[in-house]
Amino acid sequence: MWQNSGSSPAGVRCDAADLCPGVVGKAPSTPTPAPAASGTPALNDIARFLAGTPTVVVEPAAWTVAGTDTNFVATGAGERQKAGTLLGRSVVVHFTPVSYTWVYGDGTSRTTSVPGATWQTSGSTPFTATPTSHVFANRGSYAVTVTVRFAARYQFAGQGWADIAGTLPLTSTPVTVTVKAVKTVLVAHDCTQDPSGVGCSP
């Protein structure tokens, strides 16, 4: 409705300026929509989207032999993606593992670019060196962990993918590895032929 600053012709409603010549009016105001949330996400904004715990697999088992290669594999540490709401907008966040830091519990550590593979998967024989294997020098029990670091990117609805600087870590639960010492002894017969021989169980 146009608001009149003067009188209008009899019987004429001033719904438009051209119906009331010479009358000054103004259009009714319309609400201004609230601006959409904006901003560039940082690592702390998307950290809640990264979930899960890597697992350390040990070969030959939870025990090994001092002076030989023990193989380690990180499982549950692959790419992952999650949808949700970020900064007031619908978003999809994608995580890609970029490094694996192994802490062996014997005072040494190692960072690799691969999660490792079992000897069987890689076509190797047991106790063969691998990109993720480790040699324990002394017998004992050691707590081994792996920390996987993930690079992240995000995609707001209707937009392209964008990278976020830095990485986010996920650390496994420690796995205890028992390291034993093995002695080589020359004998005339094996334990089947001579059950009382050196190294044979009573």
Tell me whether strands 63-65 and 175-180 are parallel, antiparallel or unpaired: parallel
Please check the confidence at residue 36 and state whether its pLDDT lies above 90: no
Please check the confidence at residue 94 and state whether its pLDDT lies above 50: yes
Whole-angstrom distance, CA of residue 22 vs CA of residue 28: 19
Q: Would residue 162 count as lying in a domain?
A: yes
Q: Would residue 186 count as lying in a domain?
A: no
Across the chain, which distance is largest between two alpha carbons, in Å? 130
Please check the confidence at residue 5 and state whether its pLDDT lies above 50: no
Q: Would residue 197 count as lying in a domain?
A: no
Within a 10 A sphere around the Cβ of 89, how many other Cβ atoms? 16
Query: Is 153 exposed, middle or buried (CB count within 10 Å of its CB: 0-12, 13-18, 19+)?
Result: middle
Whole-angstrom distance, CA of residue 41 vs CA of residue 94: 13
Please check the confidence at residue 195 and state whether its pLDDT lies above 80: no
Give the CATH number, domain containing residue 82: 2.60.40.10
Please check the confidence at residue 168 and state whether its pLDDT lies above 80: yes
> Which domain does 157 fall in, by range?
40-180
Q: Would residue 7 count as lying in a domain?
A: no
State the average pLDDT over residues 120-131. Answer: 94
Tell me whether strands 55-59 and 69-75 are parallel, antiparallel or unpaired: antiparallel
Instruction: Report how many domains make up the chain.
Output: 1
Q: Would residue 170 count as lying in a domain?
A: yes
Q: Would residue 53 count as lying in a domain?
A: yes
Q: Is 15 left (phi over 0), alpha (psi -120 to 50) or beta?
A: alpha
The pTM of this model reads 0.71
Please check the confidence at residue 37 and state whether its pLDDT lies above 60: no
- Range in 38-52, 60-74, 96-110 the model is least confident about: 38-52
Strand intervals (E) in the chain: 55-59, 63-65, 69-75, 80-86, 89-103, 109-112, 134-135, 140-156, 162-171, 175-180
Please check the confidence at residue 29 and state whether its pLDDT lies above 90: no
What's at 52, amino acid-wise? G
**pLDDT tens-place string over residues 149-160:** 999 999 999 899
Contacts of 101 (CB under 8 A, 6+ apart): 109, 110, 111, 146, 147, 149
Within a 10 A sphere around the Cβ of 27, how many other Cβ atoms? 10
Whole-angstrom distance, CA of residue 27 vs CA of residue 41: 41
Please check the confidence at residue 66 and state whether its pLDDT lies above 70: yes
Q: Would residue 168 count as lying in a domain?
A: yes
Q: Would residue 118 count as lying in a domain?
A: yes
Q: Which residue has 């007031």 as its token pair?
A: 88
